[in-house]
Amino acid sequence: MLGDTAPARSADVSAVKQQWHKGALAGGDTQRRGWVLNSTSGPAMEGQVPAQVHISTSILRATSEGSDPRPGLRVSSHTALTPSSHPSICRPNTRHRPLLALIAPRASMCGIHATISRSGYRTPSLALEKRLRSRGPDHCGTVRTCLDWPGGTLLYLTFTSTVLSLRGDHVARQPLVDESTGSVLCWNGEAWKLRGRPVQGNDGEAILAELVAASCHSTIESCDGVLHALRQIEGPFAFIFLDKPAGRIYYGRDRLGRRSLLAEAADGLSLSSVAESPSQSWVEVEADGCYTLDLDAELVPIRRDWADDDQLVSSLGVFNANIPTTQVKLTRSAPSVKCLQNHLVESLKYRVLNVPVPPRASSTDARIAILFSGGLDCTVLARLASELLPPDQAIDLINVAFENPRIAAQNKTISKEGLYELCPDRITARKSFAELVDVCPTRRWRLVCVSGQCVMDANRALTEDQVNVPFSLTTSNRSEVIDLIYPHNTEMDLSIAYALYFAARGRGLSQNSPESEPRPYETTARVLLSGLGADELFGGYIRHATAFSRRGYEGLNDELKLDVGRLGKRNLGRDDRVMAHWEREVRFPYLDEDLVKWAIEVPVWEKCDFENQDVDGQVEPGKRILRLLAQELGMDAVAVEKKRAIQFGARTAKMESGKVKGTTLIT
């Protein structure tokens, strides 16, 4: 940017703000004026000097035509800032070619927060900022902008983003600001594809450029252009976008709801990845569409469908409800088995490749960890991921077991350590770990039995209570887990969240082989893989077998369509909040858009096979397509593993009373 440079003074900043407010600067909307205030900071690490942030003030000289804004004066200084410290002023609104204020590598998981208020700027509280920083420890930034409406009405908007960097060798700083329009994007997620093509470079910047261009080709009254651009994004995300020229906010979650976003209607509107603490006013933003908010009206959000075609299930594909006219059997030679493998491999490529070396790790340490019960879904992911990653790169398999007082009372002759080892998920994890080591002997596998505290003594040893999760540790973390899962608040939510919370922590004893000596370890991986979604897509629940026994293929189709249709209403936002708290991002390979679309459109007899209970040995009919794939991959033992809910496999359910129902509200 051309212009003169001089030390910044507070008087200069105040003068520019006054000029802008009076409409003295060229290039702005004649009916709406505003200024953008921007402050950023790096991670607040102990012993680390705060990141220095560039403060700049740009004034556009008016021209007689009013169409060629040129930089006239630039006042610049470098000062160490925190998110709440001295602001800088960005360029005013124009509708010219997008010029991004922030240049960075591809973005990654973030904590995002925004407030819209008529009473003044509202930044997150210290407690809420701490939760946001847990999601994104590498950077924290804040942008403030004020809209001045006709009649003197002021609207104050504050945007905050924290960043966990998982792409490239630099931190992608947020919020992203388009300098030519003043539009702002808070982006939490991964845009794997845009308009059907892989995203090159920084995905947040690519999305902002698309949205700004779409806004430039739209009218103030219409949001069709921006909505069309948003509908072209494939990948997990939650976002908040200020289209400043149009005076409109867009926000939402992807159509499968893989990232968290909460809303609170108090003193305007607040949006956040996570709540500070349980409050009756916070609600989960539904993943059923994109929401728009016109800032010159009463701040009432309007839902816009992710797809115009209401025949699409989860806005992705038309469900194949065909029923076979003759008896069919699903076997290993079925084309759908190979198709599933191809789709899973493509999904995993986006999710496990090009992840940078984590902090304090070597190039051969784990960058990917798998939430590992030893069951079918997660073990197939581990097996396929091993084929994609460099042979010397470790893969961590994280397994968790809990002390359950109710189970202990029923087995008084068994030691506490013995009870941990008898947890169903610990048994299957050890068995599947051994099979992975046998099938992929050159891979550096690590089975990580999750700890409670991971406080190592002078001999680098962990006690038994640190290898597993004792009941006392579970209860001591109860209030924090309840805060993270809010607004979900049932006993089932809590029992599932306990398992995910301690698994994502990733501390315990690790083994490189079933015979090796366990060693103290904390996973270096910042990316977690989850097998969630396979049961819904391929008929893995008992209710699918029940539906078939009662109404045949018609009943099974209805149940599968219902499950796939409500994927976006599952509890992925809850799970995201719980696991992201440990500075890790969870990814769901089975919930890739292309894979889900294919699964929706393939006929039911190519996914599961309840009509034939015994085909190819002892492979069960539920999720048979995935079981047959496991066999093709040499995982015969894994192929016959039974479905088990995480809260029962890790024994987090009904810890104190067997009479407590999952739907009981937390007290």
Of 401, 521, 419, which is closest to residue 462 (Cα–Cα)? 521
Cα 241 from Cα 80, distance rounded (Å): 27
Q: Name every residue whose Cβ is closer than 8 Å to that of residue 543 and which is 6 or more positions away in sequence.
A: 559
532, 508, 190, 116: CA torsion to nearest 10: 100
Q: Where are the alpha helices (DSSP H) in 185-282?
A: 203-216, 224-231
Kindly state the DSSP code that residue 590 receives in the 8-state scheme.
G
Cα 356 from Cα 616, distance rounded (Å): 41
> Are 528 and 584 within 8 A, CB to CB?
yes
Which one from 110, 223, 290, 423 is the annotated catalytic residue?
Answer: 110
In the chain, how many H helices and how many E strands?
Answer: 20, 26
Active site residue 110: yes
> Are 291 and 285 within 8 A, CB to CB?
yes
Of 460, 446, 442, 452, which is closest to residue 366 (Cα–Cα)? 446
Q: What is the CA radius of gyration of the chain?
A: 26
361: buried, middle or exposed (CB in 10 Å: 19+, 13-18, 0-12)?
middle
Cα 45 from Cα 62, distance rounded (Å): 44
- Write out the two tokens for 272: 């956040």
Of 166, 203, 163, 201, which is closest to residue 41 (Cα–Cα)? 163
Of 360, 431, 421, which is closest to residue 640 (Cα–Cα)? 431
First and final C-alpha spacing in the chain: 58
Indicate the helix (H) or strand (E) that contains 478: helix 478-485
Kindly state the DSSP code that residue 641 receives in the 8-state scheme.
P
Farthest-apart Cα atoms in the chain, separation: 91
User: In this structure, is the dihedral angle defined by the CA atoms of residues 251, 254, 256 and 258, taken in order, positive or negative?
Assistant: negative
> Are 72 and 129 within 8 A, CB to CB?
no
Active-site annotation, residues: 110
